[in-house]
Amino acid sequence: MEKTEIGIEGNSAGMQDTGRNGGEIKGAELFVKALIEEGVQTLFAYPGGMAIDLFDALYGQSELDVVLPRHEQALVHEADGYARSTGKTGVCLVTSGPGATNLVTGIATANYDSVPLVCFTGQVPTNLIGNDAFQEVDIVGITRSICKYAVTVRDRKDLGRIIKEAFYIAASGKPGPVVVDIPKDIQQEFGSSEYPKEVNIRGYKPNTGIHAGQLKKAMGILNKAKRPVLLCGGGVKISGAGALLTRFAEKTGIPVITTIMGKGCIPSSHPLYVGNIGMHGNYASNQAVSECDVLFSIGTRFNDRITGKISEFAPHASIIHVDVDPASISRNIKVDVPIVGDAKAALQLMLSEAERLQLEEWVQKIGDWKQKYPIRMGQQDQNQDQNQNHRSNGKQTLTPERILRSINTMFPKSIVVTDVGQNQLWTTQYLELDENRQLLTSGGLGTMGYGFPAAIGAKIGNPDTDVICISGDGGMQMNLQEMATAMALELPIIICVMNNGYLGNVRQWQEMFYNRRYSSTCLCYRKSCKRDCLNPDKCCPKYLPDYVKLAKSYEAKGIRVESGEDIEAALTAARENKSGPTLIEFIIERETNVLPIVPGGNALSDMIMEA
C-alpha cells in the first residue's frame, strides 16, 4: 500500500486538497495506482481539458512511460501495435470530445483483430453530461458496437472496480478493446485508495475449458479423413498455440493453410505449410480447401475474404471449427462439429488423440499445385526488366517481391508491420514467417494509416528487435505526423514506402473490373491534368510529398530507391541508422497488380492467375 500516495507529492501546486479524509485519494490518483498495479509500462496518451487531472497525477512518477503521439488516431494504432507485438494490453488515454472520437477507427481496428486495449477517455463533469458542454460526446454510445465493452464511471466508488474489470475483459477470452469514460469530477473526487485484486462479473465468464466429447468426435472424423486440411486463423497466434499446431501437423501429417492473420503459426518454410487461403491466397491453398474432405479450422471467423462464394466453399468437406467465441461458429459457414474453446487448450487435447494418417497422395497433389502455380513475380520481374531495358540503362526493375525477398534474408529476427492495400497483400504473400519474425497487419477492418503508428508501438514494446513498416504511398500519408513521434523517441524504425503514385489496390480493381476507369485513385493528379488520363508515366506532375525531403525535415534519414540493385544497400543503411527512423521510398512500377486474385463473390476455385 505504499504506492497509494503516488503522484501527490509536488503536484498539488494549484489544486486544493480539501475533502481528503485519512487515506483517501483522488480519482486521478487511483487511476495511476491502477495502471501500476496492472503492470502497465507504457501509456499512449494525448492530453486535453477533461483529462488534465489524470495527466497531473501522472506527472513526475517514474513507474510507467508516457508516450505523446501527434494525433489520437495514431495513438490508438500505436497502442495496438504495442499490444499485438508484446501480448500485453495496450493502454490509451485521451481527452473528451474530439480526443475520444479520434480513437474510433483504432478501436474498431483492434476490435476486429481481437487486440486487447483499454482506452481511457476524459469526460465532462457528470452534472454537465447531456448539456452539450464544450468537448462533450457520448463516446460510450459511439463505440458501443465496435468494442468489447464500454462504460462511463458515474460514481467515484466504482472507479477501481471498473478499471479492474476493464483490464480483465480486454485481455481474457476473445481479447478486444474496452472503453472507460471518466468524467472530470470523478477524477478530482476523493475516495477509497483501494484497487480490487479480483474480478467477478456475472455476465462475463469467458470459456477456459473445452468440450472433450465434441473434440473426440472431431478427432474421430479427422482420423478417418483421406484429404484433410488444417485451416488456422489469427486465434491460433493470439493463444500462442503455434508450436502445438506445428507438432500436431507433424504428428498427423496434415497440411496447414492459414488466413493472413494466421500466417506464421507454423513456419512458412515448413514442408506441410501450403499458404494463405482466400481472395489473394495461393492456388494450392484455395484448391486444397475446395477439394478436401475434412476442414479442421481453428480460430478463424470465415469472413468473406476467406470463403469467396459461400455455397461453393469446401463443398465436399465435413467442417470442424474450434473458436473461443461461440458467435464466430456457424455464422458465415455452417459447421458440422462446433467446438467452443481456446485454440491452445484444444490443440493440447488434440495432440493426445492424434494419429499418423496416410496422406502421401494428397500431400503430393497439393505439392504439385504449389509447384505448378507458385506466387511469384519472377516472370513479371523479367518481363519488366526487358521492357525497361528498352527504355533505359539495363537496371533491375524494382518489384515488391524483390523488396520482400531482401527483407526475408536481411532481417531474420524482426517485426514487420504493414499498412493496408497492395503493400499489405504483397507482404502477406512473400514474407517468410517463423517464431523469429512476426507480422502485424490490420486484417479485419483494413485500416489505412495503421502501419506506421503500429510499427512505432511495436518498436516501443520491442526495442531490441528490428521493426520494419511496409506501407504504400497513400497509407503513409494518413499518419505522416508520427515522424515527429518516432524521432522524438529516437526509434530506429525502417519505413519502406512502396510508391506507385496510386491508391493501388483500388486502382487494380478499376483496371480489372471497372474498365480501367481510374476514378480518384491517382495520387499524382493535379487540377491541370486531363480528367480521364490513362497514361501514367507519360506526363505526370511531380509526386507530392517528396518523401526524402519530408524525412529530412523531421531530421530523419530519407533514401529513394529506383532500381532493384539498390534495395539491399538502402536497407543496410537503414539498419545502421540507430538515431531515429529511416524512410526508404521505393519507386515501384505504377501499374503493378497483386496476383492471383479471386474476384469478389467468386468461388475460391475460380481464380485469376495472371494479368
Partner 1 sequence: MKKRWISLFVENDIGVLAKISGLFSGKAYNLNSLTVGETEDPTVSRMTISLTSDDLTFEQIKKQLNRSVEVIKVVDYTDIPIHKKELMFIKAGNLSVEECEEIFRIAEVFRVRIKDYGKNTVILECLQTENRNSDLMRLLADRFGNRIEVVRGGSVAIEAVSMSER
Q: Which residues bind partner 1 (CB under 8 A)?
A: 140-141, 144-145, 148-152, 154, 169, 201-204, 325-327, 329-331, 334
Q: How far is the CB of 552 from partner 1 (least distance, A)?
A: 46
- Count CB-CB contacts under 10 A for residue 486: 27
Q: How far is the CB of 141 from partner 1 (least distance, A)?
A: 7
Cell 524483390, located at residue? 402
What separation in angstroms does the CA of 512 have from each of 308, 338, 516, 597? 17, 38, 7, 10
- Tell me the C-alpha distance between 302 and 290, whole Å: 14
* Dihedral sign for Cα atoms in the order 307, 312, 317, 321: positive
Evaluate whether 90 touches 80 at the Cβ level (below 8 Å): yes
Half-sphere exposure of 508 (CA within 13 A, CB side): 23
Q: How far is the CB of 330 from partner 1 (least distance, A)?
A: 7
Nearer to partner 1, 325 or 568 (CB): 325
Q: How far is the CB of 149 from partner 1 (least distance, A)?
A: 5
Q: How far is the CB of 199 from partner 1 (least distance, A)?
A: 11
Cis peptide before 326 (omega within 30 of 0): no
Nearer to partner 1, 151 or 548 (CB): 151
Q: Which three cell numbers stand for residue 86?
A: 508484446
13, 3, 34, 10: which is closest to 187 by C-alpha? 34
Nearer to partner 1, 10 or 203 (CB): 203
Nearer to partner 1, 149 or 452 (CB): 149
Length of the chain counted residue by residue: 611
**DSSP code of 368?**
H
439, 426, 469: which is closest to 264 by C-alpha? 439
Nearer to partner 1, 11 or 214 (CB): 214
Nearer to partner 1, 165 or 482 (CB): 165
Evaluate whether 288 touches 228 at the Cβ level (below 8 Å): no
Q: How far is the CB of 203 from partner 1 (least distance, A)?
A: 4
Q: How far is the CB of 444 from partner 1 (least distance, A)?
A: 16
Nearer to partner 1, 154 or 575 (CB): 154
* φ, ψ at 411 (rounded to 5°): -130, 70
What separation in angstroms does the CA of 342 have from each of 3, 194, 237, 245, 299? 36, 33, 11, 13, 8
Q: Which three cell numbers stand for residue 333?
A: 459457414
Nearer to partner 1, 247 or 331 (CB): 331
Q: Across-strand partners of 472?
A: 498
Q: How far is the CB of 340 from partner 1 (least distance, A)?
A: 10
Nearer to partner 1, 252 or 307 (CB): 307
- Count CB-CB contacts under 10 A for residue 208: 11
Q: How far is the CB of 327 from partner 1 (least distance, A)?
A: 4
